[in-house]
Copies of this chain bind each other. A is one copy, B any other.
Amino acid sequence: MQTRLTGLDRPFDIAVLTTGDELLNGELADTNTGTIAAILSQYGYRLRCSLSVPDQEKEIEAALRYLSGHAQAVIVTGGLGSTGDDLTARAAARATGQQLAINEEALEMVRAWFKKRNRQMEPSNERQALLPLEAEPLQNPLGTAPGFRLRHKNCQLFFLPGVPSEMKAMFNQAVLPALQELHPPEAARQQRLFKLFGLPEPKVDALIPYSQLPQGVDVAFALDYPLVLVKLRADGDDATQRLDQAETILLEVLGEHIMARDEQTPEEVVGKLLIEAGLSLSLAESCTGGLVASMLTSQPGASAFLERGAVTYADSAKQDWLQVPLPILQQHGAVSEQCARAMAIGLRRATGTDLALSITGIAGPDGGTEEKPVGTVFMALANPEGVHVKGYRFNGDRHKVQRMSAVMALEWLRRFALRYAKD
Q: Which residues of B contact A351 (CB under 8 A)?
A: 316-317, 320
Q: Which residues of B contact A189 (CB under 8 A)?
A: 25
Q: Flag A303-331 by CB within 8 Å of B: 1 or 0 each.
A: 10011111111101100110000000000
Asked if residues A25 and B46 are in contact (CB atoms below 8 Å), the reply is yes
Asked if residues A307 and B300 are in contact (CB atoms below 8 Å), the reply is no
Asked if residues B297 and A289 are in contact (CB atoms below 8 Å), the reply is yes
Check A275 for interface membership: any CB of B closer than 8 A.
Answer: no
Q: How many copies does the complex hold?
A: 2
Q: Flag A52-94 by CB within 8 Å of B: 1 or 0 each.
A: 1110000100010010000000000000000000000000000
Smallest Cβ-Cβ distance to A281: which chain B residue: B313
Main secondary structure of the interface of A (DSSP, over half): mixed
Q: Which residues of B contact A52 (CB under 8 A)?
A: 33, 49-51
Check A220 for interface membership: any CB of B closer than 8 A.
Answer: yes
Within the complex, which residue of B47, B50, B66, B291 is in contact with A290, where a contact is CB–CB below 8 Å? B291
Asked if residues B289 and A291 are in contact (CB atoms below 8 Å), the reply is no
Given known A-B contacts A310-B309, A311-B290, A26 and B30 have beta carbons under 8 A apart: no
A362 → chain B closest CB, angstroms: 11
Please report the C-alpha to C-alpha distance between residue A63 and residue B311 in the assembled complex, in whole angstroms.
54
- Chain A residues packing against B (C-beta within 8 Å): 22-31, 33-42, 46-54, 59, 63, 66, 189, 220, 222, 231, 283, 285, 287-294, 296-298, 300-303, 306-314, 316-317, 320-321, 350-351, 363-366, 398-399, 402
Some 9 contacts from A to B, beta carbons below 8 A apart, are: A26-B39, A49-B63, A50-B51, A51-B52, A285-B290, A289-B306, A290-B291, A306-B314, A309-B309
Task: Give 6 closest A-B pairs by Cβ, nearest first.
Answer: A289-B297, A26-B38, A290-B290, A290-B293, A309-B311, A308-B317
